Amino acid sequence: YYSDSCFNGGVWKEYAKGVYAVRADSLFLEGTFTKANYKQKVSGCYQTGRFSKSFLIKSAKPESVQLESISDQRDLNLNLKERIICEQKEL
């Protein structure tokens, strides 16, 4: 729980956009923190600027992925919630 009003009673969301790379058993994420509309976030509550994370891939299945953060060894379990189809649009 965070007392600062910026942290909404200890519950908040952060957004980032960028690219990823998988090499051997590792996942690398590089990007920038954004607002909820995915436009660049240069100031405000929470984190701003560059986003860079690395994970060890412990297991990968079609419905789930288990990761371990390389920086702090915390586990991260990702589960598929909904399948979507991306439709490309002209720029």
pLDDT of 9: 74
Strands (E), 1-91: 15-23, 26-34, 50-60, 64-69, 75-79
- Distance, C-alpha 61 to centroid of its chain: 19
Token pair 């729980």 is found at: 1
Question: What is the distance between the alpha carbons of residues 7 and 1, in angstroms, rounded to a whole number?
Answer: 8
Tell me the pLDDT band of 11, cut-offs 50, 70 and 90: confident
| Strand-pair partners of 13 | none
Could you tell me the pTM of the whole model?
A: 0.71
pLDDT digits (tens, 9 = 90+) for 53-65: 999 999 999 999 9
DSSP SS3 for 83: coil
| Strand-pair partners of 21 | 28
